[in-house]
């Protein structure tokens, strides 16, 4: 890892770039023992060995989780778009996507489909989901997609607000998409 000569409060690595943030001298008045230790969240491509932990997160977050076998199938179909978030060495979230061809056969366009995203309850509300969404969208653009879309439960207002804040717009309702509930289809144009 690249060394930072400046005292810093935090560090992340995005797309191979090291980013540090600082707290100006004198702005922290707490004694050394009371200072907050900011965790370092990292993202990487998922491995097959990660799937059992990913499934545990899925079952904790969703009322109708995907099965372990379905995760294995999706993993082998979408390795480049299956991403995990780590707090230190602990997997705390994941997302999986795929690129699909949409539109007319004579002039198809590539669309990135955010198939699933979940963050452990203990780490929700800390920007981990946003980091995962940003990364999968970045990979969609690298794969030639110019639009992203996803489905979200009608009752999941928190997720809908996150997606709206990230530029997603409601397109339509998919009746009984989740079996017991309607789903909203949301899309977002991707910058190339």
Confidence (pLDDT) at 108: 87
Confidence (pLDDT) at 7: 41
Please check the confidence at residue 98 and state whether its pLDDT lies above 90: yes
Confidence (pLDDT) at 192: 67
Mind listing the pLDDT tens digit for each residue in 152-180? 999 999 899 999 999 999 999 999 999 88
Domains, the chain, in order of start with CATH, read 41-189 (3.40.630.30)
Please check the confidence at residue 181 and state whether its pLDDT lies above 80: yes
- pLDDT bracket for residue 191 (50, 70, 90): confident
Q: pTM here?
A: 0.77
Confidence (pLDDT) at 104: 84
Confidence (pLDDT) at 93: 97
Q: How far apart are CA 153 and CA 137, in angstroms?
A: 20
CA-closest candidate to residue 28, choices 47, 7, 52, 44 = 7
Q: What percent of the chain has pLDDT over 70?
A: 79
- pLDDT bracket for residue 39 (50, 70, 90): low
Please check the confidence at residue 5 and state whether its pLDDT lies above 50: no
């Amino acid at each position: 890892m690249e060394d930072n000569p400046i005292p810093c409060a935090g560090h992340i690595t995005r797309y191979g770039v090291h980013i540090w943030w600082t707290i100006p001298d004198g702005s922290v008045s707490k004694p050394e023992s009371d200072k907050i230790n900011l965790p370092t969240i990292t993202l990487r491509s998922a491995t097959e060995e990660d799937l059992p932990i990913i499934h545990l997160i899925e079952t904790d977050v969703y009322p109708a989780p995907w099965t372990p076998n379905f995760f294995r199938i999706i993993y082998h179909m979408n390795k480049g778009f299956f991403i995990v978030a780590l707090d230190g060495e602990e997997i705390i979230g994941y997302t999986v996507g795929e690129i699909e061809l949409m539109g007319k056969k004579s002039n198809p366009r590539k669309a990135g489909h955010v198939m699933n995203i979940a963050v452990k309850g203990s780490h929700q509300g800390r920007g981990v989901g946003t980091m995962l969404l940003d990364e999968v969208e970045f990979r969609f653009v690298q794969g030639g997609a110019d639009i992203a879309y996803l489905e979200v439960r009608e009752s999941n207002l928190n997720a809908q607000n996150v997606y709206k804040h990230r530029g997603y717009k409601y397109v339509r309702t998919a009746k009984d998409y989740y079996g017991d509930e309607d789903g909203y289809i949301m899309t977002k144009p991707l910058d190339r």
